[in-house]
Amino acid sequence: MSEPINLNKFRKARAKDEAKKTAEQNRVRFGRTKAEKQVSRLEAEKARRLHEQAKRED
């Protein structure tokens, strides 16, 4: 006869594994360093300024 298993522990372990997988996906999707965020912000500001300079006044 096989060992009995605690279904509650099994359910919690499975939920924990799924949470870890979701956290890994979120780190890949949203995780950026402070320097990367600053570079993106500066690039967006530069593009905005360039766009403003190119506007024609009527």
Which helix H or strand E contains 15, and what residues bound it?
Answer: helix 7-30
3-state percent helix, strand, coil for the chain, nearest multiple of 5: 80, 0, 20
Say if 36 falls within a structural domain.
Answer: yes
- Residues in contact with 32: Cβ distance below 8 Å, sequence separation at least 6, in sequence order: 40
- The per-residue pLDDT for range 6-39, each reduced to its tens digit, is 999 999 999 999 999 999 999 988 888 899 989 9
Decide if 20 is inside a domain: yes
Domain that holds residue 23: 7-54
When divided into structural domains, the chain yields a total of: 1
In a domain, 30, yes or no: yes
25 lies in a domain? yes
* Confidence band of 1 (pLDDT split at 50, 70, 90): confident
The pTM of this model reads 0.50
Give the pLDDT score at 55: 86
Return the pLDDT at 2: 84
Residue 11 placed within a domain: yes
Q: What's the rounded Cα separation, in Å, for the pair 14 and 5? A: 14
Q: Examine residue 2 and state whether it is found in any structural domain, yes or no.
A: no
- CA–CA separation, 37 vs 22, rounded Å? 22
